[in-house]
Each structure stands twice: as C-alpha cells, then as structure tokens.
Amino acid sequence: MHPLLRRSFEKLLAHGSRLRARGAHLTRNTLSALSGRLTSLAAAAARLRSGLPRSGRGAGRSLVTDILLLQLASALFVAVAAVAVVWWATSWVIDNNLNKWAGQWISELDDLGMPLYVDGGEEQYLRIENYIRSFPEISFVRYYSKSGDVVFEDATQHARVTVPVLGIAELEQLTLHGTDQPAQLDNSLSGSSVVRASKPIYTESMSSAGLLDLDLSVASMVQSELVGFVELGLDFGGYQTHLDRSVLTGSLISIGVLLFLAMVGSTVFRRALRPLAKLQEPLAKLAGGDTDFRVRSSGHREIVAIADALNSTVSALHERDRRLHRLANHDSLTGLINRHRFSELLIEQLEDEDFEHTRSALLFIDLDQFKYINDTLGHAAGDRLLIQAARRLESTVRKNDLVSRFGGDEFTILLRDLERADVESICEALVQNMRDHLFVENGHSFSIPCSIGVTMIDSNRFSPAELMAQADMACHDAKARGRNRFNFYEASGQDQQQMEADIGWSQKIQKALADDALVVHFQPIVDLERGEPSHYEVLLRLPDETGELVPPDAFLPAANRFGLMVDIDRWVIRNALERLAGVRTRYGDIRFTLNVSGNIFEDTDLLGYIQEHLQKNDLPPDSLILEITEQIAVRNMINATEQMQELIELGCKFAIDDFGAGYSSFDYLKSLPVDYIKIDGAFIRDICEDVIDQTIVRSICEIARASGKQTIAEYVQDAATLDLLGKLGVDYAQGFHIGKPSPRLRREPVSLTRGRSRKSRKKAG
C-alpha cells in the first residue's frame, strides 16, 4: 500500500477509535471533524492518484515512474559494472596472453633467426617474413649482431617501423639478466601502441664428457655464447580496438534491451496499478461524506486487500455515521429526538408548511412531579420516570407527530396538520394519559401529571424560537393555573410585552456576541490561609445602548429561552482564558472560576473547545474552574457528570455554585465530581448571629474536606464573618468585603483579623 494512503487510513482509523471512546457524545461538531479527516483522506487519495499514470496531472512523480527509474538505475548500474568488469578482465586476459604469446613468438624467432648468424640467405629471410606475417600482432622484427649492428629487419605491410633501433648499451643491458630470462617487454614507447619485446640470442654447447655422461633430468653445465639479439614489435592495438568496439556494441545492445524492458515494465506496472487508481473515486465519495457504497475488489492480491480494507473502513464509517447521527439528534436517556433536532425539524416544518391548507401546533410539556421524585427517590428513579413519560407521550400522539425531550423534565411535541379542536383533543388525551399513568417506585405509586403549553402554528410570522417562547409561556400559565392541564397561548398584552422584551434581549445578545461587545468583570476569591486572592470569579455583563452594564439576571432568561446560552458560555470561556493567560504572566498561579449554564452540557464538543483555547493560550487545565449550580447539575445529571468527567480527565476543575440554595443533598457531594463547594450566601449573610448557619457551614466544610473538596464562602460582607469562616474551616472567601467585581484584577491582600463590611452584589450586581 502506498505510504500516503496507508498513513491516511491509519489516521482515519485512529480517529475512529477516539470516536468510539467518546461514544454518545458525538455531535455535529465531531462529524465535522470526521468529515475533515475524510477530506484529508480524499486529498491523500488525490495525491496518490496524481502519482498514478492514468491521471497524468498534478504535482509529484508517478509511482510507476519511480519504480521503473529505480529498476532502470539498478539495471544500468549492474550493466555498467558488468561491462567494466568484462572490459577489465578481457583486457587483462588479452595483455596476459599476448605477453605469453610474445614470449613464445620471440623464442621461435630466436630459433628461426639463428641461420642469419651463420650464412643468412634469401630463403631464411622469406621464412622470417612469412612467420611474422602469419601473426598480425607482430609489427616488426629486428635481429642484431652481438656488436649491435642490425643484421635483419622486417615489418608487416600495415606497419611501418617507427621504433628506433636499440643501441649497443641497451642491448648489453639485456644480457645482464642471464641466459634463461624471458623476453624483456617495453610498452613505454612514446606515441606508439607498439610493445617492444627484446631478447639476446645465445647458443649453447656441452663438454664432450658431459655428452657421454648425459643426464637430461638434471641441470648440466653448458657453455653459452652470445651471438646476437632479436627485437620484436607487438601491436595489440587491434585487439584493444576490437575489444572497445565489442564493449561498445554490447553496451548499446544492453541499453536497448533495458529500454525495451523498461517500456514493457511500464506497461505491466501501469496495468497492475490501474485498479489502485480506480480507488480514487470511492475515496472521493468517502471524503464527501458518502459511506453508502462498496468498492469493487479485483485485480492483484495487494489491490484486493486494499479494496477490502477500504470496504471495511467504509462499512465501519457508515455504521459509525449512522450512530453518530442518532447520538447527535436523540436524547440518550429516552431515545426521543433532542432539542436541537426538534428545532431543525420545526424550522423545516415552518418552511414547508402550506398555511393556506394546514395548521400545526407546538406543545411544551413540563412534568409537574419530577423534581419531587428526583429529589426524594434519587436520580435513577427520576431517569425511569422520564423514560416512562416519554413512552407515554409517544403512544398518545400520532406517528407523524414529533416528540422530543427538550431538556430536564421538559418535552416538546409538534402536532402536524391539525385544527385547534383536534389539538385540544390530543392535549386532553395527553393530560389524561399522563395523569392516569402510575409510576411505581420502592413500593409507592405516583401519578405523573404534566402541564402543557400550546401554541398554534398558522403562519410563518414567528420564528421557531418565538414559537417555543409562546409555548413556554403558555406552559407557565398552565402551571400557574394549577398544573395538570393544558393551556393555549393567547397573545395577551402582557405576554406580548414579555415576549417582545425577550426578543429584544435576544437581539441585543446576538448583536453583542457578533460584535464581541460582552464584558467580563473579575471578583477576587481570597485564600483564607494566606489572605491573598488566589482565584477570581468571572462575571458577565451586557452593555446596553447607553453603555450601562446590565447584570446577567436581566438577559440570561431571554438567552435561555432563545437558545443562546451555549454561545454565551463559549464566549465567556474564550475571553476569560485569553485574559487569564495575561494575568498568569503577570501574577503567577491565578485561577479563574466561570459560571456556565446547564445548556453547555448539550454542547458535546465542549471538551474540544476548552482544550483548544487552553492550548492556544498555553494555560494549564487546572487554571480553569467551571461553576455550575446544583440545579443544573441535577437536571442534566447524566450528561453533566460525563462531560465533567472528560474535563476533569483533561485537568479542569469544577465548583458547585450556590450549594444549599435548592434541593441540596449531601449525597450530591459524593456523586458529583467537583473540587470546590461554593456555599450559598444565604448561609453566610447572618452567620455571625445565626448558630444554625454556623453549624450548617461547619458541616458542609467537614463533609467537603472528608471527600477531598474545598469550600468557598460567598457573600462575605465584613471582617467578622471572614474571621468566623476561617474558624469554621472554610478554605476560600468571596464577597464585597474582599473585593467587588471589577473590569480589572485587584490584588489587594485581605487582613484576616479585621476588615470592612461590604454588601455582596455578586451576579445581581
């Protein structure tokens, strides 16, 4: 498999593993990330395709070209090496053999020339001439007398004797090596390819006694007599030329064969890799998010393996995609579609609705007894109640109606294509069915009455958010009228005014988000051991048209109603972390506590978002503390704890805000994975005078300490309270006595023995 493709597959599979680990928390954002991975895979496929011969376009060389070039280079190297070795070996063999031949020729010419020193004669000359002409390597021969005179000289027709005659001194040098030495070779003749071989000519004779007492197997004493010299010119250039020509011819043939093989190899490779190029199309589909296809696997074993692997990947992605979509659009507890999906479908309904002929209705349902059951019987019982309520609602409405879990104990229903009377009938059925249903837990039975707010959809004048707000207000009216009933939204003057106000706030918030105009203030939290601020609570403010800062209590309900809380939470996180990076650079180990809404736990990419901004600002995760109210944590118990667990694994800290203000239970202290307990101001305000408050605070501190948590006391207004809190075991304190919320961080230390009394205006200003 091509490394590029393999790496992309590995990345994709690794990402798939991470997705599996995260399970139910995958949302549209995760799908987006997955899509990004697939896009990179497709890009890799495209790059791969660009390397394949069929495309012929794009950057990068062809894989086939690379392989062929490598093979060609290897073959050329081997061929050149082989030619060089053959050339060297052949040259060596030729030189060696010719040297031997030279020795043999000069020895034979030694014998052949002997008569020249006796009587000469034409016949002898002819014999010598015939001899040297029978060997084209011999270019000339010279015989010298022992006094150095040239006795005879002959050259072949094609050779001209240009080698100078040897002088007597040079000839006498030849005799210094003894009588049995081979011919002396001299290839240093300048400007000539001729090698000169020369040798003295000796005759030998024996003593008469030696001849009679003959033993040829042993060396005998002989008498040698120098009679002359023979010189032989050898021209091996013909051999070398022939060899060079042969090597050249062989090389050309080899190159031709190599080129032919390269062309054949190219064709074979291209044909073999064609199925690989065809993988580009399914990979492009995959990158486009299409997982509903199969790759045809054929061809070579390796290609089939790649295609099979791709099919497996596509199948896994298809299944994962399906699960992700389901997880992203459904409530994991009840299986109903979630708030986000319901909003999408509501938008589609509004866009598709032909209001001339059809009408619809939006129902907002709140379970009247949920909080009671959840607080008294525990989360598990609350969960089972929600599941049964969901089933009950589903079974009451028609199949083409939409039922969603809107959040907590709130459900929404879209009844399609109905008149008001039909809606009323269904609402009556819903109220009746829910009231009649008995929820049995621990031997006790409970009915689960609900309040239903209804708004009719007969035009597209209202946005989905406005419709939801209408149904919500109608639900509140139903509750106000005694619960266990349904109530149609009627655009009364007050409701209209409230709704217009909410719409105004939502528009201001959206504009502030778009303009990045929201403001944060910081209120110090002092460490009661050191007396110095170690934490700051980040508090949100919204500037109005005059520049006045509006506290969050004024605009957060509208933001919550119009689904803007997640965007606000993200804005706060992003801006707070940017500020925190600067603060830590200046003051060291400072931590920020941020108030986040319960809706943020519907943001399944919360972990990625926080992680991204922590890394971007180079901040340690434990410098961020997220504050949630216990109501929020309880209402989003399942999602909240899992989201919190992921952030805790990342290193972030959590604090429960306003502990004790609601249905607080010490059980939460054990079940919620928080690090800080912020004691509600109601227990602090009069603690110096109220012994019960002191007891409660002391108990909270002891339990928190026992469970490894730290405590923060809010609403500290004076030094006496501060001192008392220290004595009761509170770890941190916050309040006007310590420091008011301010756009700038204040670093004044606090005296733990005396101080001023201040009124806490936390959040509410």
| Contact residues for another protein, defined by CB under 8 A | 110-112, 114-115, 117-118, 201, 203-216, 219-220, 222, 225, 227
- Strand pairing report for 591-595 and 624-629: parallel
CA gap 533, 745 in Å, rounded: 10
Task: Please say which residue, 117 or 609, places its beta carbon nearer to another protein.
Answer: 117
CA gap 157, 140 in Å, rounded: 9
Task: Please say which residue, 231 or 537, places its beta carbon nearer to another protein.
Answer: 231
Q: Which amino acid is at 653?
A: K
Task: Please say which residue, 221 or 691, places its beta carbon nearer to another protein.
Answer: 221
**Minimum CB separation from another protein for residue 101, in Å?**
19
Task: Please say which residue, 55 or 107, places its beta carbon nearer to another protein.
Answer: 107
Question: Helix (H, G, I), strand (E, B), or coil: what is residue 537?
Answer: strand
CA gap 280, 311 in Å, rounded: 13
**Minimum CB separation from another protein for residue 144, in Å?**
16
User: Could you tell me the two tokens for 678?
Assistant: 């912020």
Whether the CB-CB separation of 522 and 536 falls below 8 Å is answered with yes
**Minimum CB separation from another protein for residue 225, in Å?**
8
In sequence order, the β-bridge partners of residue 540 are: 520
**Minimum CB separation from another protein for residue 180, in Å?**
9
Task: Please say which residue, 211 or 438, places its beta carbon nearer to another protein.
Answer: 211
Half-sphere exposure of 492 (CA within 13 A, CB side): 8
**Minimum CB separation from another protein for residue 114, in Å?**
4
Q: In the chain, what's the furthest Cα-to-Cα distance?
A: 162
Whether the CB-CB separation of 240 and 266 falls below 8 Å is answered with no
**Minimum CB separation from another protein for residue 217, in Å?**
9
In sequence order, the β-bridge partners of residue 123 are: none
Closest of 674, 640, 678, 683 to residue 658, by C-alpha: 678
Burial class (CB in 10 A: 0-12, 13-18, 19+), 217: exposed
CA gap 403, 451 in Å, rounded: 15
Phi first, then psi, for residue 730 (nearest 5°) are -70, 140
Backbone region of residue 447 per phi and psi (left: phi > 0; alpha: psi in -120 to 50; beta: other values): beta
Closest of 275, 266, 322 to residue 302, by C-alpha: 275
**Minimum CB separation from another protein for residue 237, in Å?**
31
**Minimum CB separation from another protein for residue 119, in Å?**
9
**Minimum CB separation from another protein for residue 104, in Å?**
13
CA gap 545, 522 in Å, rounded: 23
Phi first, then psi, for residue 593 (nearest 5°) are -110, 135
Whether the CB-CB separation of 651 and 631 falls below 8 Å is answered with no
Tokens 């010299």 sit at which residue? 229
User: Could you tell me the two tokens for 711?
Assistant: 């405590």
Task: Please say which residue, 87 or 117, places its beta carbon nearer to another protein.
Answer: 117
Q: Strand ranges (DSSP E) for 376-512?
A: 402-407, 410-415, 438-441, 444-447, 450-457, 486-488
**Minimum CB separation from another protein for residue 214, in Å?**
4
**Minimum CB separation from another protein for residue 85, in Å?**
39
For 384, which DSSP code? H
Task: Please say which residue, 228 or 598, places its beta carbon nearer to another protein.
Answer: 228
Query: How many Cβ atoms sit within 10 Å of the Cβ of residue 207?
Result: 12
292: part of which helix (H) or strand (E)?
none
**Minimum CB separation from another protein for residue 213, in Å?**
4
Given 3-state DSSP classes, what are the helix, strand and coil percentages for the chain, each rounded to the nearest 5? Answer: 55, 20, 30
**Minimum CB separation from another protein for residue 110, in Å?**
7
Task: Please say which residue, 208 or 494, places its beta carbon nearer to another protein.
Answer: 208
